[in-house]
Amino acid sequence: MRTGVRAAARIVARGDGRGGTALPVLAGEGPLAPRRTRSVAGEARVVLVGAMSGPLGGDHLSVAAEASDGARLEVCSAAATIALPGQAEGEARQEFDLRVAGDSELRWLPEQLISAQGSELRVRTRVDLAAGARLALREEQVLVRFGERPGLLRSRLTLRLDGRALLDQELRCGLGAPGGWDGPAVLGGHRALGQLLLARPEFEQSPLQARMLGECASLVPLPGPAVLVTALAPDARQLRRVLDVALHDLG
């Protein structure tokens, strides 16, 4: 019986005491290859490069990133991730564990996740913030490639501040998901969905008000210093445009 790939990557960023950010840990294995790129204004930048296609059925990939001691860290990916069916049995899994200290900032801005026909993927993202931490996290999911039917996607995002839960939400969509996922109460026929999670200490001092950001996008304040922008769009390009505007205005 075929089994999937097991691989992990770890990124640790720390302030270097001179206004910059050091990366004492930058490690990956298998298809996960983190690479440092040029730093800008004291911020360390890391690109996650996919050294193999996937994730495929049966794969289990995990990434842990930590920003501490005054670090400023941005993590992005070199290309979109495409969930594909594989020869191994079972769903593929991706797990992301993100930690940010109170005097640090993390910008987690990967490219889109595309759910190809026949794929089955479970994504789990956990974010732990200390008081005073700054975060910008973007998730974008495209449910189908042109001319295909969508795969099955399960996605869960949790946010905790000093151990207190601020957000815990889960989405299931695609073929095999409970009925109604494509109806007007959920996706309404759209195939691109995304969210932008922002945490800033100033949001607690001057809370933002819930409001619409267009026909299919909204901003919702969370308890404490965080807000969540959620958006739907017919394609990835239009989704990115909406989230980029929100990131520029709020982040």
Q: pLDDT by residue (tens digit) across 116-158?
A: 999 999 999 999 999 999 999 999 999 977 778 889 999 999 9
Find all residues with CB under 8 Å of 149, minimum gap 6, and list them. 117, 175
How far is Cα of residue 129 from the mean position of the Cα atoms in its chain? 15
Mean pLDDT of 198-202: 96
CA distance 135 to 102: 11
Reading the block at residue 76, the tokens are: 């992005």
CA distance 242 to 170: 22
pTM, two decimal places: 0.95
Number of structural domains the chain divides into: 1
pLDDT for the residue numbered 17: 93
Determine contact, residues 91/120, Cβ cutoff 8 Å.
yes
Mean pLDDT of 160-189: 90
pLDDT for the residue numbered 178: 85
Residue 96 inside a domain? The answer is: yes
Residue 71 inside a domain? The answer is: yes
Residue 17 inside a domain? The answer is: yes
Residue 201 inside a domain? The answer is: no
Residue 207's nearest CA partner among 226, 179, 181 is 226
How far is Cα of residue 163 from the mean position of the Cα atoms in its chain? 20
How far apart, in Å, are the Cα atoms of 53 and each of 3, 31, 74, 141? 15, 8, 23, 17
pLDDT of residue 1 exceeding 60: no
How far is Cα of residue 31 from the mean position of the Cα atoms in its chain? 18
Residue 118 inside a domain? The answer is: yes
Question: 95 exposed, middle or buried (CB, 10 Å; 0-12, 13-18, 19+)?
Answer: middle
How far apart, in Å, are the Cα atoms of 2 and each of 6, 29, 73, 179, 230? 13, 20, 37, 31, 38
pLDDT tens for each residue of 5-53: 999 999 999 999 999 999 999 999 989 999 999 888 899 999 999 877 7
Average of per-residue pLDDT values in the chain: 93
Residue 250 inside a domain? The answer is: no
Identify the residue with better confidence: 179 or 229: 229
Q: Containing domain of residue 124, as a range?
A: 6-196
Residue 227's nearest CA partner among 187, 199, 190 is 199
Residue 241 phi/psi, 5-degree rounding, is -60, -45
Mean pLDDT of 84-97: 89
pLDDT of residue 206 exceeding 80: yes
Residue 105 inside a domain? The answer is: yes
pLDDT tens for each residue of 157-170: 999 999 999 999 99
Residue 225 inside a domain? The answer is: no
